[in-house]
């Protein structure tokens, strides 16, 4: 077995486009989101940052789990893996890409968040074609 056949590091770092699909019909839409993979340094660095933040917060004795905060951190992790998009609009106007806008979109539009999360999790998406 030649491990070079399975090396997706470069593709994970550069990112690939996810074509969004209609949440009901599954029809491809005219919007694409460029994402890096879970094997990228962006993903690992953000995961490390969030883990450190949680460890620090967990030091408070008896601190309850904040579900909304955990949900926001999940959106932050996906936003850290987002490096651009094409065709994302609201009210007929293009939404300029930024990590903060990605967090907002992944929070407000769960169907997009679910597609992004599933895409990043599937290493097959990052194998060279």
Per-domain residue ranges of the chain: 27-126
Q: Is the pLDDT of residue 20 over 90?
A: yes
Give the tens place of pLDDT for each residue, 65-113.
778 888 899 999 999 999 999 999 999 999 999 999 999 999 999 999 9
Q: Which three-class secondary structure string do you get for the chain?
A: CCHHHHCCHHHHHHCEEEEEECCCCCCEEEEEEEECCCCCHHHHHHHHHHHHHHHHHCCCCCCCCCHHHHHHHHHHHHHHCEEEEECCEECCEECCCCHHHHHHHHHHCHHHHHHHHHHHHCHHHHCCC
pLDDT category, 60, cuts 50, 70, 90? low
What percent of the chain is modeled with pLDDT above 70?
91
């Amino acid at each position: 077995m030649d491990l070079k056949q399975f090396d997706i590091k470069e593709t994970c770092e550069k990112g690939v486009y996810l074509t969004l699909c209609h949440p009901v019909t599954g029809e491809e839409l005219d919007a694409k989101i460029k994402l890096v993979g879970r094997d990228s340094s962006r993903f690992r660095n953000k995961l490390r940052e969030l883990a450190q933040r949680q460890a620090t917060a967990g030091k408070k004795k008896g601190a309850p789990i904040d579900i909304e905060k955990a949900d926001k951190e999940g959106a932050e992790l996906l936003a850290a893996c987002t490096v651009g998009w094409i065709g994302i609009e609201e009210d007929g106007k293009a939404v300029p890409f930024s990590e903060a806008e990605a967090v907002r979109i992944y929070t407000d539009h769960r169907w997009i968040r679910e597609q992004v999360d599933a895409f990043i999790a599937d290493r097959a998406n990052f194998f060279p074609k």
